[in-house]
A = this chain, B = another copy of it.
Amino acid sequence: MKSTIRSTDLAHLAHVELLSPRPDDSLRFFVDVLGMTESSRRGDSVYLRAWDDYEHHTLKLTASKVAGMGHVAFRATSPEALEIYYDTEWYAPPPYLKPALKNQAQRFPARGVNVRRLDHLNLLAADVRALRLFFEDVLGMRTTEMIVLDNGDEAGAWVTTTNKSYDLAFTADHYGARGRFHHLTYAVDSREDVLRGADICLENGIYIETGPHKHAIQQTFFLYVYEPGGNRVEVDSAGARLVLAPDWQPVIWTEAERKKGQAWGLKTIESFHTYGTPPIEEYTGPRRT
């Protein structure tokens, strides 16, 4: 069977719901440290956006007993396990947030890390290959890079529905759990912005897991931190890198290549392979055997 939804019907990763057991601290992190803007509230949820996100929100932050991801939405036309939609609410800034230039969604906040827009989402998968095929065949996304182990197992895949080299990544869950959240990423304009982001996280007592450094896979410049609720959040910069080729063939990384660590030799930190939300100690779902 080939894809029932065509690639072009899926516009882009649109918003993600994060669950936090410390919602007030998480909110302060996203607003004061990352520099995001609160759009509205409803019930136990606060809706947030980065300054160049065009929609009403790209992040829904919801109080919850356990950290993790609530849902993910792509903007387009049709359903499946994911939430896919077309009708949306474009963000209309209040007067004090109107930008000086009319081709910008909102005034530049000049606060904290000043993240610009939602970039991508990374999920831990019990079965990477099955998930990749679902996104390729059912949702028409393209795989741009992959990790294939010596035994043929797929350990990671990066897929896209735009000219960004990935909108979504999934890596094998070390524990075989299903649906755990690895990280959500907001983009900034330059590698210097990522470095400044690390300075700011340090000043605010935010736990820096690893980075800043350059990924070998996808070559993005990364900083990984844990927001106070426990979810991993990345700030990244891709420079001018885009995938424009219509016949791009997935780049396959081997076990030997991955052992070299990140682009400049930094060894991948152990927790990057094992930590996700909910933390495995609080995970109660099924596991792959």
Asked if A184 CB lies within 8 Å of chain B CBs, one says no
A100-121 contacts to B, CB under 8 A, are: 100-104, 107-108, 110-113, 116-117, 119
Asked if A242 CB lies within 8 Å of chain B CBs, one says yes
Asked if A1 CB lies within 8 Å of chain B CBs, one says no
Highest count of chain B CB atoms <10 Å: which of A54, A119, A264: A264
Q: How far is the CB of A192 from chain B (nearest CB, A)?
A: 5
By a CB distance below 8 angstroms, the chain B residues around A75 are 246
* Contact assessment for A54 and B163 in the assembled complex, using a CB-CB cutoff below 8 Å: no
Q: How far apart are the CA atoms of A219 and B162 in the complex, in Å?
A: 21
Q: How far apart are the CA atoms of A241 and B50 in the complex, in Å?
A: 12
* Contact assessment for B103 and A52 in the assembled complex, using a CB-CB cutoff below 8 Å: no
A interface SS class: loop
* Contact assessment for A103 and B217 in the assembled complex, using a CB-CB cutoff below 8 Å: yes
By a CB distance below 8 angstroms, the chain B residues around A264 are 198, 201-202, 208, 211-212
- In the complex, residue of chain B having the shortest beta-carbon distance to the beta carbon of A238: B240
> Can you offer 11 A-B residue contacts whose CB atoms are under 8 A?
A52-B240, A75-B246, A100-B203, A101-B219, A103-B145, A103-B219, A108-B203, A110-B200, A117-B244, A189-B240, A198-B263
